[in-house]
A and B are shown apart, each in its own frame.
Chain A
Amino acid sequence: MTVMDQSLPAQIQLIDQLEGHEDRAWHVAWNPARPILASCSADKNVRLYSYSASPQSEDNSIKFTHLTTIPTGHAKTVRAIAWSPSGKTLATASFDSNIGIWAQEGDEENEDGVSNAAGEWECMSLLEGHETECKSVAYSSSGSLLASCSRDKTVWIWEAHPDYDFECMGAPLPPLSLSSMVAHLNASLPAQILASASYDDTIKLYIDDPQEDWFCFQTLTGHESTVWTLAFSPDGRYLASGSDDCTIRIWERVQEHKWECVSVLEGHERSVYSISWGRGKPLDGGDAGSLGWLASTGGDGVIHVWEMRVRSSEKDPSKKTISHRAIAKIFNAHDVHDVNCVVWCPRKGSEDLFATAGDDGLVKVWKVIPS
Chain B
Amino acid sequence: MSSEIFNPNPTIFAPTKSNKAAHAYAKPHSLWLDDGEHTEDEEYEQSDEPESIDQDEIFELIRSISDPEHRSMTLEQLAVVSAPQITFDPRHRDRITVEFTPTVPHCGMSTFIGLSIRVRLLRSLPQRFKVDIRVKPGSHQSEHSLNKQLNDKERVAAALENPALLEVLEQCLSSAGHPDHDH
Which residues of A come within 8 Å of B, CB atoms?
A: 24, 42, 76-77, 79, 95, 132-133, 135, 151, 179, 183, 199, 225-226, 244, 270-271, 299, 336-338
B128 at the A/B interface (Cβ < 8 Å)?
A: yes
- Chain A min CB distance to B18 (Å): 31
- Chain B min CB distance to A50 (Å): 29
Which residues of B come within 8 Å of A, CB atoms?
A: 94, 127-128, 130, 145, 148, 151-155, 157-158, 161
| CB<8 Å pairs between A and B, sample of 9 | A76-B161, A77-B161, A79-B154, A151-B154, A151-B155, A244-B152, A270-B130, A299-B130, A338-B153
User: Which A residues are CB-close (under 8 A) to B130?
Assistant: 270, 299
User: How many angstroms between the C-alpha atoms of A133 and B158 in the bound complex?
Assistant: 8
User: How many angstroms between the C-alpha atoms of A336 and B145 in the bound complex?
Assistant: 28
Can you name the residue of chain B whose Cβ is closest to the Cβ of A273?
B153
Can you name the residue of chain B whose Cβ is closest to the Cβ of A228?
B154
User: Which A residues are CB-close (under 8 A) to B157?
Assistant: 24, 42, 77, 95
Contact of B158 among A76, A225, A299, A337 (CB under 8 A): A76
Can you name the residue of chain A whose Cβ is closest to the Cβ of B161?
A76
> Are B154 and A183 within 8 A (Cβ)?
yes
> Are B158 and A151 within 8 A (Cβ)?
yes
> Are B154 and A336 within 8 A (Cβ)?
no
> Are B128 and A77 within 8 A (Cβ)?
no
User: How many angstroms between the C-alpha atoms of A132 and B154 in the bound complex?
Assistant: 12
User: Which A residues are CB-close (under 8 A) to B94?
Assistant: 336
Task: Summarize A's interface: helix, strand, loop or mixed.
Answer: loop
Contact of A226 among B127, B128, B148, B161 (CB under 8 A): B148
User: How many angstroms between the C-alpha atoms of A151 and B148 in the bound complex?
Assistant: 14
Can you name the residue of chain B whose Cβ is closest to the Cβ of A133?
B158
Can you name the residue of chain B whose Cβ is closest to the Cβ of A95?
B158
User: How many angstroms between the C-alpha atoms of A179 and B153 in the bound complex?
Assistant: 18
User: Which B residues are CB-close (under 8 A) to A338?
Assistant: 153
Residue with the highest number of chain A CB atoms closer than 10 Å, among B127, B145, B158: B158
Sample of 8 more A-B contacts, CB < 8 Å, known A132-B158, A336-B127? A76-B158, A77-B157, A77-B161, A95-B161, A133-B158, A244-B152, A299-B153, A337-B127
Can you name the residue of chain A whose Cβ is closest to the Cβ of B129?
A336
User: How many angstroms between the C-alpha atoms of A299 and B152 in the bound complex?
Assistant: 11
- Chain A min CB distance to B83 (Å): 25
> Are A77 and B152 within 8 A (Cβ)?
no
- Chain A min CB distance to B119 (Å): 15
User: How many angstroms between the C-alpha atoms of A336 and B130 in the bound complex?
Assistant: 9
- Chain A min CB distance to B158 (Å): 5
- Chain A min CB distance to B47 (Å): 15
- Chain A min CB distance to B140 (Å): 17
- Chain A min CB distance to B153 (Å): 7
- Chain A min CB distance to B169 (Å): 16
Can you name the residue of chain B whose Cβ is closest to the Cβ of A179?
B145
Can you name the residue of chain B whose Cβ is closest to the Cβ of A299?
B130
Can you name the residue of chain B whose Cβ is closest to the Cβ of A23?
B157
User: Which A residues are CB-close (under 8 A) to B154?
Assistant: 79, 133, 135, 151, 183
